[in-house]
Amino acid sequence: MAYFPSLLSALFFLLLSPCSSQPTEFFFPGFERLTEPDNLTLTGVSQIEQNGILRLTNATPRFVGKAFYSSPFRFKNSTNGPAFSFSTSFVFAMVPVFQGFGGHGLAFTLTTSVDRRAPPNQYLGILNATEMGNFSNHLVAVEFDTVQDFEFRDIDDNHVGIDINTLRSNASVPAAYYTRGGSTKQNLTLKSGKLIQAWIDYDSVENVMNVTIAPTSNRPTSPILSFHVDLSPFLQEFMYVGFSASTGNVLASSHYIFGWSFKINGQAQALDLSSLPSLPGQPKKHTTLIVGVSVSSAVVVIALSVAIYFVIKTKNADVVEDWELEIGPHRYSYRELKQATNSFSDKTLLGQGGFGRVYKGTLGNPNTLVAVKRVSHESKQGLREFVSEISSIGRLRHRNLVQLLGWCRRRGDLLLVYDFMANGSLDKFLFDEPKTTLNWDQRFRIIKDVASGLLYLHEGYEQIAIHRDVKASNVLLDDELNARLGDFGLARLYEHGTNPGTSRIVGTMGYIAPELPKTGKATTSTDVYAFGAFLLEVVCGRRPIDPDALPEEAVLVDRVWEKFSEGKVLDVVDTRLDGQYDEGETMMVLKLGLICSNDVPAARPSMRQIVRYLDGEAELPENLRPPSGFDGGADEFEAFVHSFSSSPSSSDKTSSYPFLKDGNLGSTASFASISSSPVSLGQAI
């Protein structure tokens, strides 16, 4: 009976093997023959390019691309049976628009449907917010993630993770690989734009899933990630295998697959990087460059002359890349903007700050006045905000928002073109001994204009837009003193029905909600807090924090609370109004400012409620609750600064916050130069 164990083994293998009618493996050493793929299902923006590369996404923000093998694979012999082993190998590359800024990544995915609807960004086109963690998802994925999302507790912005029914990885490690022998670990940058091979293997006997990556065809002997798990409860009898990738709101990458193999109950066929298609602009590794040495001197001279001619001719030409043609809005030529601003002369200079300079310009026929912001581009943060404004915020349209008309990029020069606002920023009418004093009717109309713009951002756009820097210096006035909210360099967008992720703390001292340093989450409620500070500064003619005032009077909201509790709140009204104001409206705005400045986010109204109050469609509550621990301001202000400087989510800030002229955080704030030096864009944006 010695044959009996062998017979049992054979029967066991047959029980765990898929039916012969189902596919069990495939091998794609490139996709040249799949220009019209019968065995691949492509959705979103994915496509097979002429050179045989499968492109999941291009560099357009907020897009998803998917590619799945058209037929499902049998992963079990029955619904409740054990899962089969499987193996896959593929070669990929992520090419970011800007070096070092990738977004968002790709995932190898096992799913029950190729038509699963999911948003881009951090969701990678796999799941949506309401599906996260649901057992009914039956989804297993290995993510190659290039953006750190605190909502999903990502370990960094360059990691590999195993996800089961959620994008909060069950296991993850920084991207790296082991050299031959497995003794040395080498870091690997996923968004380097270079080819990377991945091997994913699931052993149904040992119940372990291994992920291995390397920049070569030689497979390391040790995986970078091993996760012990029985996939049987999570896989259905039939599952699709494929890839999903997505781009972000601001920054994006092109995601490519160069070759792919897969096998049930066996080892996937090996891929050779040297035989795969080459990324455009990169030669194959096995290509040999042969240089002839019999070229005559005359030919060399002619070639050099032609090269010099074209270098001189194109020296001042705009460099246009593919991604720039897709992000909108209108792209101006550098020559147009140079001519419009008289070669960016000082005579057309409207203002300057840490982000760069703003110039008055004249474009088109008939002549149209514009404001041209020339972004100082010495830091990646400036680049991030430049791309943010043109790719996301540029699509916003509302009468109370400064309109982004277009943009331009020429080598190191980054330029944004806006509506020209003849009366410049509001702060010059409120502070520093203004030449003209706004009367109450003008101030009240400005307040309502800004509220209308914020309501559109929070509820009227296809996404929720959080401004994150509402203040007087970012409110611009046209020739009739109508107000528009501008400067969207710090703005952030997220989908309706989802929660905003944690991010770096940005903004201006005095407008930052007290919960923000603790949670790191900018929300519509934190915008409302800043709007409350804005209301008080418009009525009082004072900045939210006055470094020249006595400590007990430095914080404006506490000063207003103090007078309100004494029944003398109208004492804080700007004395330059000389008593000429509507007491009912003024009281209402002051009370609304205090309500919006509540230290409890849930107690603040929404922008829709605020607009109803301002329009007289609803009555404010009679009794207001002062902030917890209110003592006149000095102690609370010190506690606020302490909490801000010690916040775990603000690791890129220093521990001191010197006051600037308008109460900003200076160079210590995230996106430092742009958020901390609000130039009076004067007649600008």
**Most confident residue range from 25-39, 72-86, 385-399:** 72-86
Q: Where is pLDDT greater, at 186 or 668?
A: 186
Alpha carbons 254 and 282: distance in angstroms, whole number: 15
**Res. 329: pLDDT tops 80:** no
Strand partners, 144: 106, 160
Check residue 205 and give its pLDDT.
Answer: 94
pLDDT tens string 356-371? 789 999 987 667 899 9
Average pLDDT over residues 115-121: 79
Check residue 172 and give its pLDDT.
Answer: 95
**Res. 386: pLDDT tops 60:** yes
Average pLDDT over residues 384-399: 68
Lowest mean pLDDT among 103-112, 577-586, 655-664: 655-664
Check residue 495 and give its pLDDT.
Answer: 73
Check residue 70 and give its pLDDT.
Answer: 92
Which residue, among 38, 46, 48, has the nearest Cα to 277 in the 3D structure? 48
Check residue 408 and give its pLDDT.
Answer: 85
Average pLDDT over residues 401-411: 82
**Res. 289: pLDDT tops 50:** no
Alpha carbons 105 and 253: distance in angstroms, whole number: 8
DSSP per-residue codes, 58-115? -S-SS-EEEEEESSPEE--SSTTSPPPPEEEEEEEEEEESBTTB---EEEEEEES-TT
**Res. 16: pLDDT tops 70:** no
Place of tokens 């982000």: 355
Average pLDDT over residues 256-273: 94
Instruction: Specify the amino acid at residue 530.
Output: A
pLDDT tens string 23-34? 899 999 988 765
Q: Is the Cβ–Cβ distance between 261 and 199 less than 8 Å?
A: no
The contacts of residue 577 (CB under 8 Å, 6+ apart) are: 437, 439, 440
Q: Where is pLDDT greater, at 264 or 377?
A: 264
pLDDT tens string 497-555? 767 765 667 778 889 998 888 888 889 999 999 999 999 999 999 999 887 777 777 88
pLDDT band, residue 6 (cuts 50/70/90): very low
**Res. 569: pLDDT tops 80:** yes
Check residue 237 and give its pLDDT.
Answer: 94
**Res. 633: pLDDT tops 80:** no
Check residue 361 and give its pLDDT.
Answer: 92
Average pLDDT over residues 79-84: 92
Element (H, E) at 430: helix 427-430
pLDDT tens string 489-503? 777 877 777 677 656
Alpha carbons 91 and 142: distance in angstroms, whole number: 14
Instruction: Specify the CATH number of the domain 21-275.
Output: 2.60.120.200
User: 655: how many CB neighbours lie within 10 A of its CB?
Assistant: 10
What pTM was computed for the model? 0.51
Half-sphere exposure of 231 (CA within 13 A, CB side): 31
What is the dihedral sign for C-alpha 400, 473, 556, 438?
Answer: negative
**Domain regions of the chain by residue span:** 21-275
Check residue 377 and give its pLDDT.
Answer: 54
**Res. 672: pLDDT tops 90:** no
Instruction: Dig out the tokens for 490 from the structure.
Output: 């710090």
Share of the chain above pLDDT 70, in %: 74
**Res. 37: pLDDT tops 70:** no
**Res. 677: pLDDT tops 70:** no
pLDDT band, residue 392 (cuts 50/70/90): low
Average pLDDT over residues 277-287: 57
Q: Where is pLDDT greater, at 628 or 589?
A: 589
Alpha carbons 52 and 29: distance in angstroms, whole number: 9
Angle in degrees, CA 306, 310, 316, rounded to 5: 160
- Whether a cis peptide bond, with omega within 30° of 0, leads into 283 is no
DSSP per-residue codes, 439-476? -HHHHHHHHHHHHHHHHIIIIISSSEEE-S--SGGGEE
Average pLDDT over residues 476-483: 92
Q: For the chain, what's the residue count?
A: 685
Q: Is the Cβ–Cβ distance between 85 and 73 less than 8 Å?
A: no
- Tell whether residue 373 is among the known ligand binding residues: yes
pLDDT tens string 194-252? 999 999 999 999 999 999 999 999 999 999 999 999 999 999 999 999 999 998 766 67
Q: Is 240 helix (H, G, I), strand (E, B) or coil?
A: strand
Instruction: Specify the amino acid at residue 533.
Output: A
What is the dihedral sign for C-alpha 153, 155, 159, 162?
Answer: negative
What is the chain's mean pLDDT, rounded? 78
pLDDT band, residue 89 (cuts 50/70/90): very high
Q: Where is pLDDT greater, at 332 or 641?
A: 332
pLDDT tens string 412-435? 678 888 889 999 899 999 987 788
Alpha carbons 100 and 146: distance in angstroms, whole number: 10
Check residue 597 and give its pLDDT.
Answer: 92
pLDDT tens string 297-307? 444 445 555 45
The catalytic residues are 469
Q: Is the Cβ–Cβ distance between 415 and 372 less than 8 Å?
A: yes
Check residue 309 and give its pLDDT.
Answer: 45
Instruction: Dig out the tokens for 583 from the structure.
Output: 């007491």
The contacts of residue 463 (CB under 8 Å, 6+ apart) are: 249, 493, 494, 495, 496
Which residue, among 70, 56, 60, 47, has the nearest Cα to 106 in the 3D structure? 56
